[in-house]
Amino acid sequence: MPKVDRRQRRTLIADALMRVAAEHGLEAVSLRQVAAEAGVSAGMVQHYFRTKDEMMAFAMEVVRERNQARVTEAVARLGDSPQPRELLRTIIGTLLPLADESRADGRVALAFLAYTAVRPTASEVLRDETARMVGFFESLIPVHHQARGLLALMEGIGVYLLGGQYTPDEARATLEAQLDLLYGSP
């Protein structure tokens, strides 16, 4: 009997969770719905995830890994010594839900953020990730206290993109205007 790759199975289930959340919202995420979407039994989902919180946290880990891979690839295209402004533009532009793949991940991330608003234990992962992102932004911004604002702007633009209030062009223009405030007009 072939050995089952635990990480691969968990990722299959997390992908199903993300499709359910992206199409129907987080309220539609249930053990049965995720199992049906993944094409596996509810028992298998329970075998790999004891709770919905555990399943949600793993799905967010998958989203983070995908985002990291996209960011790493985009930053590598900038060359060896990109300017801080260009580095921020590339990172934020890559993280914003501007393309189909990042839009699906963005919906899951937004749903998870709302989920953690009423589940403090589930929000620990986001607190740590936010602190790391703020620290990195601070290393690139001339006025350090602006890092939290830039992160909040990025999240807000993402919400408006997902809700259809901003087009991709409007989102990019908003980001450029903020970068102009931080670095001056190019």
- 64-98 pLDDT, tens digit per residue, is 888 999 999 999 999 999 999 999 999 999 999 99
Higher pLDDT, 66 or 108: 66
pLDDT for the residue 68: 93
In angstroms, the CA 177 to CA 149 distance is: 13
Asked whether residue 1 carries a pLDDT value surpassing 60, the answer given is no
Say yes or no to pLDDT of 31 above 90: no
CATH fold for domain 53-183: Tetracycline Repressor; domain 2 (1.10.357)
**What's the confidence (pLDDT) of residue 2?**
59
Q: Is the dihedral of CA 102, 175, 130, 113 positive or negative?
A: negative
Cα separation, 135 vs 150, in Å, equals: 12
**Could you give the angle at which helices 6-24 and 31-38 cross, rounded to 10 degrees?**
110
More confident residue, 58 or 78: 78
DSSP letter at 50 equals S
pLDDT of 19 > 70? The answer is yes
Residue 179 neighbours by CB under 8 Å, 6+ apart: 85, 88, 89
By CB atoms closer than 10 A (0-12, 13-18, 19+), residue 127 is: exposed
Paired tokens of 102: 């990042």
The dihedral of CA 62, 65, 69, 74: what is its sign? positive
Residue extents of the structural domains in the chain: 53-183
